[in-house]
Structure formats: structure tokens, C-alpha cells
Amino acid sequence: MTFLSFPFITLGIVSLLVGALWASKSANPRFAAIFAASCSFGSFLLCSLEVAKAGHTRLFDPWLSFFEADALDAVPMAFFAALTLLVIILAPKRDSGGKALAGILLLAAATQTTYAAANLAVLATGWWFTSLPFVLRMFGEDRSQKLAQGFLIASSIALTAAIAVLHHIEIDEISHASNLAFGLIILAVVLRKGLFPLHGWMISSFEHGPLLPLALLFNGHLGALLIARSETTALSLSEKHVLEFLSIAALVTALITSLRGFAEKKPRRMLGLLCLSQASFILAGIATASAEGITGALVHWLVVSAASTGLIAIVRVLEVRVSGSTDPTEHLGLAAKAPRLATFFLVCGLALIGLPGTLGYCAEDLIFHGALENHHWIGIALPIATAFNAINLLRIFNILFLGVLPKHVIDIPDALPRERWPLAVIVVFLIAGGIFPSKVLRWREEAAHEIEAGLGLDKAEHSEH
Amino acid sequence: MSLSALILTLVAVPGSLFILLSLLWLLGVKLPERAMSRLTKGAYAFLTLVTFVIAWRMWQSGQHSIRISIGDHWFKVAHYEFPLTLLLDRLSLPIVGITVILAGIVGSFSVRYLHRDPGFFRFFLLLHLFTFGALLVFMADSLDVLLGGWEIVGITSVLLIGFFQYRPDPVKNALRVFATYRVADLFMLMGVFLAHHWFKTASWNGMFNGEWPGHINNLNGTAATVVAVMLVFAASGKSSQGPFCGWLPRAMEGPTPSSAIFYGAISVHAGAYLLLRIEPLLHSSAIATGLVIFIGLTTAALGTLVHRTCADAKTSLAYASQTQLGLIFAEIGMGWTTLAILHVVGHALVRTLQFLRAPSMLHDYHRVHAAAGGHLEPTGEHYESLLPKQTQIVLYRIALGRGFYDAVVDRFIIAPVVAFARFLGVFEFRGGKP
């Protein structure tokens, strides 16, 4: 066993938990916010240092050896820590009470635990804990959250059951029990990622739920992580039919949610459908079982996380500014008052749908090429979903930012400094990554190789040569 | 300065201007109109000079084409790599020339036209981005790079259609145009991906042998026909032809200078440029050739018909553009390459002038009449008067309904898609309840 030189993972998670504890007890919301931001910044620093150390091999945490850093999880951990920090900074006052901040930090700690898990039991524990802030209603009392809670718990139960079954059988054994275990893992992924036909809870959460915590829950991409992890650990998900099923599920989700957007008028629901559709590309990319597709999927993971967090945060800050028009169906014309927020929204959205010049373009280009290699129908259908999503993105943009400014919107501020700089960071990442994609691809190259190795693709390539 | 450096400068200047001005805006620096005007005029004068220097040096050295590569590749994964190469040859050079000249003229015109408009800064930002995208399209050495510029031109076009964002019609029409673009771009995407998949290349060098004109097609068989047909539909989308002919009149909602540069001069001709570039591929397939001629002639016929019944100047010009583009498509299909290029350049120049004069059309009209010494009576003699009366009525009805294009699209495409999208709602939950 090789260990990290410093307990980066343990300290990173502990700092988030300490922040959560402090925020929940703090009477002063301002101090709670500052402390929460500091803790998440600390976690981000530790994760970034860990990325520098983690490389080709698995490195275990010296304090808690059931945590590990490898090529697959190190970058997403740092990225998720950065997203947590951005969400805390971007959160409007009404969303950053002590309890809500504690919920966000708890969610972040649970997600980081899932990422860093060195075995399936720890992974399942982290998976369970991501539901905890919603079950404890740390983001307010909202009846619609019950649906999300139900699905999150169901997915956790499915994963736990799968692990329990796997514990009792030999991995290589082909039996009804192993099929059951794989079926349960797939069910956990479908429930968690909101794949068709079980995507309704995610859309409902976007419509009624707390947007910023949802951005973190959504961008954990734990379903994709589980599949990628299962492949790297050769959990026999290399059984082709499992990948076939996942690719079909992801493809159908991408297409149906993109199409569903045409029948919607509420920005929150449209945004939910857009994010869900584009996020399905990650799983579709991994399921292509080709080097290009897998690398594209892992880069798209970062694109979806950054861009959707930007979009969700902008929608939320606008809702807070324009009282009485939460989830409008008519045009709001806010570009006249908030041109910078409009620009940030447009850039994040265009990156999400893969406009050339943004990182999204490179990611989607790789996924489409990878898909054409092995799954032609994915390579043909995904561009169709992207086209539909692009139209829906412009519809959301039109509703929020174009048209006549309503009479009750007399004056609202454009992006505040606290909002401007985090959003600028996201936009710079998406554009600079698009102009110089090789750098970002290099971050994910090793993880892609690991997944390829899990699928036996590298051997197949060697034998071809 | 080497030719390669000059070519890179040509593309880099508008791109850098866009990035620089965006950063300034983000930092809250408010650039005065005068500074923006000088910057724009200076930049385009410089670009025009650079284009002439490149043309002069190519002529002097007897070079017919220059191919430059920016690094080994943009990105590479396993066996797939994205090359970043630019090509300037006898096809792209004249079109690059008119792009920088007309963009400069339109930029100069816009300084006065948009004086004190709240969107002044935004317009120039988008103009620079458009020029960057257009130059990328015309100087691309592969379908991959062309696609990048193609999409940038598309998005700037849409943002400029919705320029007057406080009016409902521009917003609505921008969305419709964007939807049309996205559907047409799907064909481009598929064409590029299928070219990679079947032929392992999407670069001009890999697809064709030799220099334009007279380059020889390397792709054969049904696969080549499929790629050619995909690219014909993509070109039709950009040039408002055939099944995508409805968007051009809607695009007239944008400010007049943007209409001039996009729909009179550069953007609409990008489709024709693509067809000229892939001409040997087109002519290797009877289906693709027939399709180009059919799309071109039918659109030209419809365009000229509708153009005669339009009540406003810009819409009338839009249909007139569509007609000429249809003829250019037909010329390309018939293999009249030189005529097609002359037609593209001539049409771009004349149409830009017409669009830029459109706001003062009434003034011009009165001036012509005054110069003639009184009111000029129309002769009443038109080609359509040669047709039987009943046919004239039918054609007039079709022209007034603009070929019933929008009605057909609304009823047979949009309505069923939206109805199906609504039906899919059965899998979702409303108000937190299943």
C-alpha cells in the first residue's frame, strides 16, 4: 500500500464537517457564511495539493486508509471542492442561513467521502450521507423535497443491497446472484442520476427544491462515478450487455429530456431538463467503451459541473432580485438591468451545449467520435439532443433576459462583486479550457486509461497492433 | 514578416479584439464611442492591408495556396486528433478579401447608424466575433475547423437578430432562426463525423488531391454520397435555401448594418463557399449534384415570386438575396465555378450597398424623381404579365403567403414535436406529486 505524504483527504473532509458543525450552531449568519467559505476553501486547497501528489497509482490516506486518491477521483474531488466554495460565495443571503450552509457542507463532505472511498462499503456510506441534508430538511420545509428524498434513499438502498449481494458471491461467478447485484447497481445509478423513466424527481426538484444545494447534489455525478469505479475495479461491469443497457438509458434520457424542454415554459423546469440531458452525455460517453468517448465523458463531467453550477446560480440570484416572479413564464427582459449576468448565463449555457471555442465543444466532439466507433446510434442521436438543448437554452435565455422589462422591476443590481468573480472563474475555465483543451484532457487522460484498462480496451488495442 | 505570420495575424486580430473588449467590459471599463470607432476602423484597415500584402506576395512568388499548421494539433486522444490548420488559396483569398473590406465598411457605417444606441458596444463586440468566425470558415483547411467558425457565425447572427431585445418580434424571430440553424448544423455535424468515421479524415488535403480549382476527389462510393448530401443540407441552412428557406426574412429584425454584413454579404455566402470547396465531392455523386441544382432553382423561383409582393424594403431584399443564392447554388451544381465565384463576389458587394441604403430608400426615391424632373410613372410591364390571368392570381396568392412555408413548418413539424413533447410529460411529476 502506498500512502499520501499528508492526510489531505481526511483533513479536507474534516474541515467540511467542522464548517458544517460551526455553521449549524452559529447565531450570526454572516460569520457562519465566512467560516463556511473558509472551510470549503481549506478543503479545496487540500484537494488541489492531493491532485498534485496523486498520479498513476492509488495513494491511500495515512490517517484513514479507507480513503484513497487515484487518477479517477483526485480531479473531481478538487473540482467539487471548488464548486462548493463557489456555491457558498454565490448563495444569496436568504439561502445562506446557518442550517442551509451546514447542509451544503455536509453534502460536500458526503460527496467527497464517496469520491475518496477505497472500497464499496465506504462508497455506500458516502452515498447514504448525501441524502442526509435533504432528509433532515436543512434547506427548509418543502413538501416537494419528499420525492427527492424518496429517490435518494431508494438509490442508496439499491446500492447497499448490491454490495451485500456482492459480498456473498465470487466476483467472477456468473449466477443469478451476480446478475442481481449488477442489476441493483444499475438501478442505483438510474435512480441517482435520474435516468429515464425515473428522471421525474430531478425535474421536480429543480422546479420546487432549493436550487444551490441541488446544483451540488446534481454535480456530484455519483452515478457516473459508480460506473467508472466499477469498470476500473473490473466489477464485471465489463459484461457488455450492462454497458449496452446504460448507453441506451443515457441516450434515451438525453433525447427525451431535450425534447421535453419544448413543452415547458418555466425556466426552472427547462433548466432541469437541459442539465439532465447534457449530464446524460457523461454516462453515454463512458458507455461508448472507446478511448475518445471515455476521455470526452470525463471532460464533459467537468464542463457540466462548471456550466450548470453557473446557470443554476444565476437563475437563483435573479429570482432573489426580482421578487414576485419566481419561475416566470413571460419574458423578464433582465438583460437591460443585468447585462453581465446575461453574458455569464449565455457563456455557461453555450459551453454546456458545446459551442466551439469552449471546453464543451472538445468534450462533445470526443464523445461523438467515440460513440461513432462503437455505437453508431449514440453518435447520431447525441448531436440531435444537443441541437434540441441549444434551442431550449436560448428559450430560457429569452425568457429571463430578453423582452420588455416588467413594470415592477424598477431597478435591480447587475452582478455584485461577490457574484461577478466566481462566475468569471467559471467562464474563464470554460473558455480557456476550450482554447487550450490539451491541458484539461491531460488531467483526465490517466483516469480514462484506468477505465479503458477495466474494460480491457488497452489489451484489445495492443492485440490489434 | 513571413506569409504564415501574416495569415495568422489576419485571423488573430478580430479574435483578440473580441476577447480584449470583452475583458474591458467585464472589468467595467466603458470605452467611448469615438475610441471604439477608431479601433474598429484601424483594425479593419490593417486587415485589408494585410490581405493585400498576402495576395501580392502570393502573386509575386507564384504560390497558389498556402497551408499553415498551428502546432501539431489542437487536441489528441488515442488515434483521434484535431488538427488546427489554415489554408489560403485562390478560392478563399477573394472571399477573405471581401470579408475584411465589407466588415470594415459596415463597421464604419455602424458608428453613425448606432450612435448613442444602448447596444453600441455590444454590436461591435459581436461584429469582431463574427469576422473572426467568418475568417475561420473561409480559411479552414478541414471541415473540423470550418465547423468551429460556422457555429460562431451562427450564434453571432442570432444575437444580432435579437439586438433590439426590448421588442417581442426580434426575440421571437431570433429563436426561430437559431432553431433553423441548429437543425441545419446537425447535417454539418453528421457530415463531419461520418467523414471521420468512414474516411478517417475531414481535411481538404485528405478529401481531395491537388489545389483548388481542379482538385480531385478522393472519396468514393455511397458513403461519399451520404457525406456530400449532408454537407449540401448544411450549406442550404446557412444560405437559406430549400427546406431552410424561411429564416432569412425573419433575420431582418436585426439592425441594418448587421443585415448587410450577414444576409447581404458574408454569412449567407458561407454555404456557397462550402459547396465550391467540396465541388469534386459533389460532382462525384449524381444525387448530390441534382440536389444542389434542385434546391437552388426551386428556392430562386420561390424567392423571386415572394420578393415581388413584399411591402418592406429589407424583407424584399432578403428574398432577392435568397433568389440570387439559389442561382449561385444552381451554378455550382452545373459546374460553372468561375461564374459562381464572380456571382458571389458581385452579389455580396451589391447587396451590401442595397442593405446599407435601405434606411434612406425613400430619400433616394424622391431624389431620383427630383433629378428626373418630376414623378416617374411605373410602366406596369412585368414578366409576370405574360402569364395567364388565373395563373397570376394563384402565384400572387402563393407569394402573399410566402410560399406557405411558415404555415407548413408550424403545422407539420413544430406542432407534432411539441405535442409529442407534451405527451412525454406522463413520465414526470408536477407539484411534487406523481
Which residues of chain B does A372 touch, with a Cβ-Cβ cutoff of 8 Å? 193-194, 196-197
- Say whether A357 and B152 touch across the interface (CB within 8 A): yes
Nearest of B121, B280, B283, B261 to residue B214 by alpha carbon: B280
What are the residues whose beta carbons fall under 8 Å from the beta carbon of B282, sequence distance 6 or more?
Answer: B228, B232, B275, B288, B289, B292, B332, B333
Residue A177 has pLDDT above 90, yes or no: no
Q: For B116-185, what is the HEC assignment?
A: CCCCHHHHHHHHHHHHHHHHHHHHECEHHHHHHHHHHHHHHHHHHHCCCCCCHHHHHHHHHHHHHHHHHH
Q: How far is CA A326 from CA A43, A268, A316, in A?
A: 33, 9, 9
Which pLDDT belongs to residue A236?
56
Higher-confidence residue: A166 or B10?
B10
- Say whether A355 and B422 touch across the interface (CB within 8 A): no
- Say whether A403 and B168 touch across the interface (CB within 8 A): yes
Q: How far is A230 from chain B (nearest CA, A)?
A: 22
A144 at the B interface (CB within 8 A)? yes
- Say whether A204 and B165 touch across the interface (CB within 8 A): no
Q: How far is CA B392 from CA B302, B312, B322, in A?
A: 14, 22, 22
Q: Where are the domains of chain B?
A: 3-359, 384-427
| pLDDT (average), residues B241-248 | 92
Place A172 in a pLDDT band, splitting at 50, 70 and 90.
Answer: low
Interface size A-B, in CB pairs within 8 Å, comes to 148
Place B433 in a pLDDT band, splitting at 50, 70 and 90.
Answer: very low
Which residues of chain A does B118 touch, with a Cβ-Cβ cutoff of 8 Å? 336
Identify which of B75, B171, B185 has the shortest CB distance to residue A362: B75
For chain B, state the CA radius of gyration.
23
Q: How far apart are the first and last CA of chain B?
A: 68
Which pLDDT belongs to residue A232?
60
Distance CA A59, CA B154 (A): 47
Cβ–Cβ under 8 Å, residues A195 and A280: yes
Q: How far is CA B163 from CA A216, A398, B120, B174, B277, in A?
A: 34, 12, 10, 9, 32
Lowest mean pLDDT among A331-340, A354-363, B296-305: A331-340
Distance CA A154, CA A96 (A): 29
Q: Where are the domains of chain A?
A: 1-141, 210-217+236-464
Which residues of chain B does A381 touch, with a Cβ-Cβ cutoff of 8 Å? none
CA dihedral of residues A106, A108, A109, A113 (deg, nearest 10): 140
Which H or E run contains A37?
helix A29-53
| pLDDT (average), residues B121-137 | 95
Q: Which residues of A317-344 are buried (b: 16+ CB within 10 A; e: fewer)?
A: bbbebbeebebbeebbbbbbbbbbbbbb
One-letter amino acid of B217: N
CA dihedral of residues A184, A308, B423, A190 (deg, nearest 10): 0
- Under DSSP, the state recorded for A59 is E
Nearest of A328, A326, A301 to residue A218 by alpha carbon: A301
- Say whether B421 and A208 touch across the interface (CB within 8 A): no
| pLDDT (average), residues A366-377 | 85
- Say whether B158 and A394 touch across the interface (CB within 8 A): yes
Distance CA B14, CA A421 (A): 26
ipTM over 0.95: no
Cell triple for residue B273? 463557399
Q: How far is B21 from chain A (nearest CA, A)?
A: 13
Which pLDDT belongs to residue B379?
76
Q: How far is B275 from chain A (nearest CA, A)?
A: 22
Place A445 in a pLDDT band, splitting at 50, 70 and 90.
Answer: confident
- Say whether A424 and B147 touch across the interface (CB within 8 A): no
Q: How far apart are the first and last CA of chain A?
A: 34
Residue A249 has pLDDT above 80, yes or no: yes
One-letter amino acid of B420: F
Helices (H) then strands (E): counts for chain A: 19, 2
Residue A464 has pLDDT above 80, yes or no: no
- Say whether B424 and A256 touch across the interface (CB within 8 A): yes
pLDDT in tens, A92-132: 988 888 899 999 999 999 999 999 999 889 999 999 999 99
Place A170 in a pLDDT band, splitting at 50, 70 and 90.
Answer: low
Percentage of the residues of chain A whose pLDDT score is greater than 90: 57
Burial class (CB in 10 A: 0-12, 13-18, 19+), B314: buried
Q: How far is B323 from chain A (nearest CA, A)?
A: 28
- Say whether B421 and A147 touch across the interface (CB within 8 A): no
Which H or E run contains A69?
strand A68-69
Which pLDDT belongs to residue A179?
77
A146 at the B interface (CB within 8 A)? yes
Higher-confidence residue: A350 or A177?
A350
Q: For chain B, what is the HEC assignment?
A: CCHHHHHHHHHHHHHHHHHHHHHHHHCCCCCCHHHHHHHHHHHHHHHHHHHHHHHHHHHHHCCCEEEEECCCCCEEECCEEECCEEEEECCHHHHHHHHHHHHHHHHHHHHHHCCCCCCHHHHHHHHHHHHHHHHHHHHECEHHHHHHHHHHHHHHHHHHHCCCCCCHHHHHHHHHHHHHHHHHHHHHHHHHHHHHHHHCCCEHHHHEECCCCCCEECCCHHHHHHHHHHHHHHHHHHCCCHHHCCHHHHHHHCCHHHHHHHHHHCCCHHHHHHHHHCHHHHHCCHHHHHHHHHHHHHHHHHHHHHHCCCCCHHHHHHHHHHHHHHHHHHHHHHCCHHHHHHHHHHHHHHHHHHHHHHHHHHHHHHHHHHHCCCCCCCCCCCHHHHCCHHHHHHHHHHHHCHHHHHHHHHHHHHHHHHHHHHHHHHHCCECCEC
- Say whether A437 and B75 touch across the interface (CB within 8 A): yes
Which H or E run contains A68?
strand A68-69
Higher-confidence residue: A231 or A386?
A386
Lowest mean pLDDT among A143-147, A229-233, A385-389: A229-233
Q: How far is A227 from chain B (nearest CA, A)?
A: 21
Three-state DSSP at A60 gives strand
Query: Hey, which residues 104-143 in chain A have their CB within 8 Å of chain B?
Result: 142-143
Residue B64 has pLDDT above 60, yes or no: yes
- Under DSSP, the state recorded for A404 is P
pLDDT in tens, A16-45: 999 999 999 888 888 999 999 999 999 999
Query: Which residue of chain B has the CA closest to A394?
Result: B175
Query: Which residue of chain A has the CA closest to B424?
Result: A260
Residue A458 has pLDDT above 70, yes or no: no
Higher-confidence residue: B290 or A172?
B290
β-strand partners of B87: B67
What are the residues whose beta carbons fall under 8 Å from the beta carbon of A439, sequence distance 6 or more?
Answer: A433
Q: How far is A434 from chain B (nearest CA, A)?
A: 10
Place A325 in a pLDDT band, splitting at 50, 70 and 90.
Answer: low
Q: How far is B63 from chain A (nearest CA, A)?
A: 31
Which pLDDT belongs to residue A234?
54
| pLDDT (average), residues B17-36 | 90
Cell triple for residue A436? 487550450
Query: Which residue of chain B has the CA closest to A368?
Result: B193
β-strand partners of A60: A3, A68
Which pLDDT belongs to residue B430?
63
- Say whether A333 and B166 touch across the interface (CB within 8 A): yes
Query: Which residue of chain B has the CA closest to A144?
Result: B432
- Say whether A372 and B431 touch across the interface (CB within 8 A): no
